[in-house]
Amino acid sequence: MSKKKRKLQNKSVAMFAFALSLIASRSVATISASANTLDINQDEYRLTDERNAGTGASAYTKLNANTYLATGKSYSTYNFINSLKRVNGFAAVANSVDSCHLEGTVAAKDLNRLDTFNTNAVANNTVAGSEFTCYLAEPPKDATLKIKAAPGTHYTLILDFTFEEKTWDNGNQKGFVANGVEYKIEDRNIDVSFVRAESGVTFTDLSGTLHDIAKEGDKLMGDKDAVYDAEAEVNGLESAVRAIQDGRAQAGETLIVNIHANDLQRYESRINELLSDNKGVQVIINVATNGVDNVYFGNGNGNWNSSFGKVVFNFGSFNGNINTNLLGGTVVAPYATVNISSNLNGGVVCDVLNQQNGEIHQVDNDLDFQVDDDEDDDTPTDTDADDEETPEGLSLIHN
């Protein structure tokens, strides 16, 4: 069998037809187009780098110390990016969210208030499509729901608890009742649908999904072919900037950059360059946190650009505190507490999100990655038998 490229795609026409019989057609379209929240057994697309052990195939091209270009044999890169696809379309994904200003969508279990709008994200063209989805594992603490939608956009609220949809003011005000409490959308005539969370159809199992993303982040950080070199004299971020500038890394390719958390503030200017002038190169920054309980950085980039969607900070299973001032890109720290004291132009995946100042501006990460199929094996498999069973999570439908 000749080599070919495998790419995770949403080839879901048949599944949509089935789902339409379960949920109102517009709601299902919203769920699929906005947040990639349709659920399926994630083992169907899982791969592992261990397939190439001993084959001589190189998963990375080393450009410099702590800077690598992922090749079509880097299954850990593939797995990590695909795990993030399951939460694409959300600006904030966390078990607990305490937010004061969210210009985007949220997936949360413990939410102080639902206060979201998309007008500026639409204007800045940093989100895909006109459908926006929020997921609530439990009712928010504040019964007043604040949703402001840009013209021509539609919201779906996926509710993972028993509720009854209800309207007031002659049908002009929408909301729901849960546990005897009335939750009302403050503005009238908002284009919104309410959907009960359902495994196999919608976003489900938030905690399990965070766990799986952390696991894939750890695997990428621990890849033996792109290991962090703490003794290197050249910083990985500087090498990444040069690789993009001189063309060794091209648009659509993926750079893996290793850096220690203590060096993030020192090289914030390089982070700025990677955010604003990455020329379409995808950059995954693996942040080593050994010996660190608190991470401090904020790169000072106040712009709101779609190019920020090409940069991801991978903290793996770090469970300390990440404190940011002004930041761009997507912070992936599923076990950590992220404290935001100014704007975040991008997204965040964490355990606890505290945002008491500034704003979160949604910039969807649009990372994608292809791997080469082995000539003698056309079926992806997970050979990591020692791993605990992966919790049921979220993914795109694909056939």
Nearest by Cα to 217 from 81, 348, 126, 66? 81
Are 259 and 230 spatial neighbours (Cβ–Cβ below 8 Å)?
Answer: no
Answer left, alpha or beta for residue 29, where phi above 0 means left and psi between -120 and 50 means alpha: alpha
Q: 271: which 2 tokens?
A: 């982070």
| 3-state class (DSSP) for residue 299 | coil
**Which candidate, 152, 146, 137, places its Cα nearest to that of 173?**
146
Cα torsion through 237, 339, 304, 365, rounded to 10: 70
What pLDDT is attached to residue 299? Answer: 61
Report CA-CA distances (Å) from 79 to 44, 76, 82, 86, 214.
Answer: 12, 5, 5, 11, 11
Is residue 250 a contact partner of residue 352, using CB atoms and an 8 Å limit? Answer: no
What is the number of residues in the chain? 399
Produce one character per residue of 227-238: b if its CB has 16 or more CB atoms within 10 Å, e if not.
Answer: ebeeeeeebbbb
Tokens of 260: 């220690």
pLDDT number for residue 128? 85
| DSSP tag of 341 | S
Reading the chain (399 residues) residue by residue, the pLDDT tens digits are 443 333 333 334 333 333 434 333 333 333 333 333 333 333 333 344 443 433 446 999 999 989 999 999 999 999 999 999 999 899 999 999 998 789 999 999 999 999 999 999 999 899 988 999 999 999 999 999 999 999 999 999 999 999 999 999 999 999 999 999 999 999 999 999 999 999 989 999 999 999 999 999 999 999 988 989 988 877 899 999 999 999 999 999 999 999 999 999 899 999 999 999 999 999 999 999 999 999 998 766 677 889 999 999 999 999 999 999 878 999 999 999 999 988 899 999 999 999 888 889 999 998 999 999 765 444 343 434 344 433 333 332 222
d(CA 332, CA 347): 8
* Through-space distance between the first and last CA atoms of the chain, rounded to whole angstroms: 21
Residue with tokens 């949220």: 106
365, 309 contact by CB (below 8 A): yes
Parallel/antiparallel/unpaired status of strands 254-260 and 67-70: antiparallel
Predicted TM-score of the model (pTM):
0.82
